[in-house]
Amino acid sequence: MNPGIELILGRRSIRRYKKEKVAGRDVQALLESAMAAPSARQKDPWRFVVVGQADVLNTIAEGLPNGKMLAEAPLGLVVCGDLAAANSGVLSYMLQDCTAAIENILIAVHALGLGACWLGVHPREDRMAHLTKVLGLPEGVIPVCVIAVGHPDEEKEPRTRYNPELVHHERW
């Protein structure tokens, strides 16, 4: 199989992490990978908050019902979008751009031998308000997701979820 495709199929959500910190060079590589994503009219509305302090990760996790693994992760990447920077100030463009950056991070995490889990925040008002408060986000900066990152303490087999019933050719 093509190594690039194999890498994508091997990416899985990892929820258990070793206590080992994520190296600074790896964090930099993840951020560079995120910012290599396509963006509508190259507006790059994504903004990132890198969180490595255990108390802050715990506080963030308290406001994310499915994010308890974040309290065990050595690193959290909060992906936000600056609505004013988005193409024509449109929320949908901002979300699409941030989502492309998120997927680049998830693939880069796997390429580095790390593990990650994407925790959705937007459009849940309570979750967005929690992160805005905890991180002191300025007005117009919207938290889109949090990614728990660390050295995996579990292994998952590569897989595809391909379903031919979801594919249409030429017309519906």
Write the pLDDT tens digit of every residue in 90-146.
Answer: 999 999 999 999 999 999 999 999 999 999 999 999 999 999 999 999 999 999 999
Angle between helices 91-111 and 24-34 (to 10 degrees): 140
- Record the pTM: 0.97
Cα distance between residue 143 and residue 120, in whole Å: 9
pLDDT of residue 141: 98
pLDDT of residue 17: 98
Which residue spans within 55-171 are E strands per DSSP?
75-82, 115-120, 141-150
Two tokens at 115? 């593990």
What residue ranges define each of the domains in the chain, with the CATH number in brackets?
A: 17-153 (3.40.109.10)
**HSE toward the beta carbon, residue 110, CA cutoff 13 A:** 23
CA dihedral 163, 164, 166, 171 (to 10 degrees): 170
Report the mean per-residue pLDDT for the chain.
98
Q: Are 40 and 96 in contact (CB under 8 A)?
A: yes
**HSE toward the beta carbon, residue 9, CA cutoff 13 A:** 12
